[in-house]
Structure 1
């Protein structure tokens, strides 16, 4: 019995020793993996993307980088076009210079070609004129980012001012970008303002549809926001504040070039409205689409705007043109004491949100036909089209008895004016859109008396009992159940 107990104890000890050895082995292997990862050399490529042909510091910047970080650091220069005078580098200075601008007698560098040339783990975009404090702080930055998990990019200040973390929202359907200022200079951000270097994984860069577009900070952060990626403000000091231009006149020239680049980038990314929201009550809007001197931003395909086929809504610049034109016509009709009212989809938009339906392309207004002689513009339009003193084009429609007022001769965004008359207590007219089911007759009692409704920031005339009027035209629940013109539900 005692012998059996001794064997049992020995067996238990043996099993415990085996388990201990296994645990120790696993621990040592884990330590080895961790140590190997720590010792792994993190590779990076320096890219100088933005610099000015008329005043730059690129050769000196390249030499400084090699002096501090060593000659084995690959440096790429990506330029829109060849600079004049040309920059002179030795073969050891830069690994490659890529030119993006198309030339009939030259070779354009493609996004894929540049990305394929980068074999490193990371890419750091250094602004022209950047100076590094020392190698150790730079390598600490590289290591910190390499082991970070929550940020797609690090932003590191290269100027005198701290970087600012702001909110950015991009609504591609509405062609709109909104930038919101808020307190806080570090953390995970949508958009980071200020003079900065940007550190990014090569894999992440390759996932961007336009990795080399400028202005670089706008371009990268806009593409990040669409993918809901965040960036981080790295606060340790890595770089010496960059010096300004050598020539005092270069700053004025740079501001002009910078604005052109921003405009070009927004148009390339199909952003037609930028909203800066400074607080709950104040915002500024800037438009980058069509204007009075340019054509409208869409065409019609089978009577449906092409932007709807692409899952987008009416460009904000077109909506602005419609609002300005409608506001102008409302004032004219009021001054002439004309009886007018919002019609069709315009009244529907007013009932829903006090504005034009986001995917509509016109504003529809009904008038009493007998009031036409009160308005000299409509009387004049009955004979020929004309441009009034404010630049709006008035014309009688070729397809029927109604009128259009265009934003301008070039920009053909328009409002429509439909003359109605009473026939046995029913409001009718002499032209009907066969494809518009809502274009129907209605009882005159909806206009006696006229009411008002909020629309495009002002009170305008509307039928009384708006919901009943709209349900007569569009069907029950029209206000609460928005639909696209092709019947697809939007909510």
Structure 2
């Protein structure tokens, strides 16, 4: 069908009216972006993200960069309070959704091909953002950084191990940085920043470095520095608030990124997972397969740490009381393979002689009263609800535990009252325990059957030591990871 000029004009008018209606529906222009094409305009947009409401240099920092001139956006969950008088042309970008307004889409507010994350208190240098942009485009790096202030940046290697919930930092060599230590401006392509799942998380440098390391993005350091503003030192109260906010934000960031341990370049560790006063990091285990295995991860390191501590505590109490115990099941497998808990295990199993239960004050109290007993160090001893065995929990709140299985000899064979149907849950000759032998386990020495390999092959089948497998291969197998 032929379209007449009149019909074409009518269609164009209808289209224009619909576009204007859509723009009006989007609400007020502050801070919603105008109707416009996607990213692609040459240039760099400056984003000010990391600053404090109660003590900041945002207005002066924004004014410095706006004078270049470049687009400047101040991004925060909510407008700073006390209010910050932003210079003309500098827009505030709220990140927290508000029920009666359209959802925030920060990626729609950056029109330029490149974006720079600038720390509060930085002063602009004409041409330096362009030099950073050129360095990005001339090489294979996806991220370019430049120092702020007179102190040089420290180059760091960064390896993120999602399966172990861990980020490891080390001393990096020039040209091989994955992160830097020190205040810095970060520049990257706008499409790269907003392709990250957490593009504007606090603190911005750590969030970008970790997500970039997961994607193996290259990082390049530009030696030229941005000046830092001369600012009076924070008051003691403001410093305390800033330190607490920084710690809170970093913890939230690590939760979002699935990091429960950071190993710093000097060997120190930061922990973000469960502790004595918190619940454990995973819920009830079904079909011997914790949820984290289905997510492609192993036992959170904070949980392994708690299990090691609980196992050490329990074995020390048993030895002091003269209770004969030995490593059982998967815990013995871990001792033989690694001298430690298997990286994906979620409890520790110990066998004990049933007749020795009365020797341990905590076990005897639980057996007599039928109620849980908390010892002097906060570990909780109780009788398991599933049958005739005992559990020692890391704490009342954190239910990571050691299972104690009471065996007794019958005709030279060790047996027990409760069987949970696990393939390896079988009787065995008492000769494996006469004598018991010490083995390294989880940072201490524990007692084990005298022929661990034969004991394990009786329980798990031939090749059990050499062929690791998840607890329930019918649900998930190790080779699937």
Instruction: Select which of 180, 186, 191 maps to 1:203.
Output: 191
SS of structure 2 residue aligned to 1:380: helix
Contact 1:122–1:202 under 8 Å retained in 2: yes
Alignment of 1:92-103 (within 5 A): 92-94=88-90, 96-103=91-98
CA gap of 1:302–1:243, structure 2 versus 1, over 3 A, is farther
Match of 1:63 in 2: 63
Q: TM-score of the superposition, structure 1-length normalised?
A: 0.85
2:272 maps to 1:272: no
Higher CA-based Rg: 1
CA gap of 1:429–1:286, structure 2 versus 1, over 3 A, is same
SS of structure 2 residue aligned to 1:188: coil
SS of structure 1 residue aligned to 2:331: helix
CA gap of 1:202–1:242, structure 2 versus 1, over 3 A, is same
Instruction: Select which of 432, 437, 446 maps to 2:423.
Output: 437
Task: Give unmatched runs, 5+ long, in structure 1.
Answer: 1-39
Alignment of 1:279-290 (within 5 A): 283-290=267-274
Q: TM-score of the superposition, structure 2-length normalised?
A: 0.86
Match of 1:140 in 2: 131
Contact 1:47–1:78 under 8 Å retained in 2: yes
Match of 2:356 in 1: 371
2:434 maps to 1:448: yes
Match of 2:391 in 1: 404
Contact 1:344–1:364 under 8 Å retained in 2: yes
Task: Give unmatched runs, 5+ long, in structure 2.
Answer: 1-39
Following TM superposition, by how much is the alpha carbon of 1:141 offset from its aligned partner in structure 2, in angstroms? 3.1
Mapped partners of 2:286, 2:434: distance in 1? 39
Residues 105-160 of structure 1: CA distance to partner in whole angstroms, max 9, x if unpaired? 66652xxx211221211111111121123x23443333333x32221111100122
Mapped partners of 1:477, 1:392: distance in 2? 36
Match of 1:166 in 2: 156
SS of structure 2 residue aligned to 1:122: strand
Instruction: Select which of 428, 431, 437 maps to 2:415.
Output: 428
Residues 372-400 of structure 1: CA distance to partner in whole angstroms, max 9, x if unpaired? 12111111010222111111111111221
Following TM superposition, by how much is the alpha carbon of 1:489 offset from its aligned partner in structure 2, in angstroms? 4.1
Contact 2:347–2:401 under 8 Å retained in 1: yes
Mapped partners of 1:481, 1:302: distance in 2? 21
Contact 2:147–2:224 under 8 Å retained in 1: no
CA gap of 1:431–1:275, structure 2 versus 1, over 3 A, is same
CA gap of 1:224–1:417, structure 2 versus 1, over 3 A, is same
Mapped partners of 1:199, 1:43: distance in 2? 12
Contact 2:121–2:228 under 8 Å retained in 1: no
2:202 maps to 1:214: yes
The farther-off stretch of 344-353 and 73-82 is 73-82
Alignment of 1:471-486 (within 5 A): 471-486=457-472
Mapped partners of 1:131, 1:80: distance in 2? 24
SS of structure 2 residue aligned to 1:395: strand
Instruction: Select which of 298, 304, 307 maps to 1:319.
Output: 304
Contact 2:66–2:72 under 8 Å retained in 1: no
SS of structure 2 residue aligned to 1:364: strand
Mapped partners of 2:56, 2:246: distance in 1? 15
Alignment of 1:324-335 (within 5 A): 324-335=309-320
2:127 maps to 1:127: no
Mapped partners of 2:243, 2:51: distance in 1? 13
Match of 2:22 in 1: none
Match of 1:157 in 2: 147
Match of 2:280 in 1: 296
Contact 2:288–2:471 under 8 Å retained in 1: no
Following TM superposition, by how much is the alpha carbon of 1:323 offset from its aligned partner in structure 2, in angstroms? 0.9
Alignment of 1:334-353 (within 5 A): 334-353=319-338
Contact 1:55–1:245 under 8 Å retained in 2: no
Mapped partners of 2:232, 2:272: distance in 1? 29
What is the Cα-based RMSD across aligned positions, in Å?
1.9
Contact 2:165–2:301 under 8 Å retained in 1: yes
Following TM superposition, by how much is the alpha carbon of 1:232 offset from its aligned partner in structure 2, in angstroms? 1.1
Contact 1:151–1:188 under 8 Å retained in 2: no
SS of structure 1 residue aligned to 2:404: strand
Residues 393-448 of structure 1: CA distance to partner in whole angstroms, max 9, x if unpaired? 111112211100011111111110011111111011111111x1101000111011
Match of 2:290 in 1: 305
2:85 maps to 1:88: yes
2:457 maps to 1:467: no
Following TM superposition, by how much is the alpha carbon of 1:247 offset from its aligned partner in structure 2, in angstroms? 4.2
2:174 maps to 1:190: no
SS of structure 1 residue aligned to 2:138: coil
Following TM superposition, by how much is the alpha carbon of 1:78 offset from its aligned partner in structure 2, in angstroms? 0.7
Residues 271-290 of structure 1: CA distance to partner in whole angstroms, max 9, x if unpaired? 11122243xxxx33332111
CA gap of 1:140–1:277, structure 2 versus 1, over 3 A, is closer
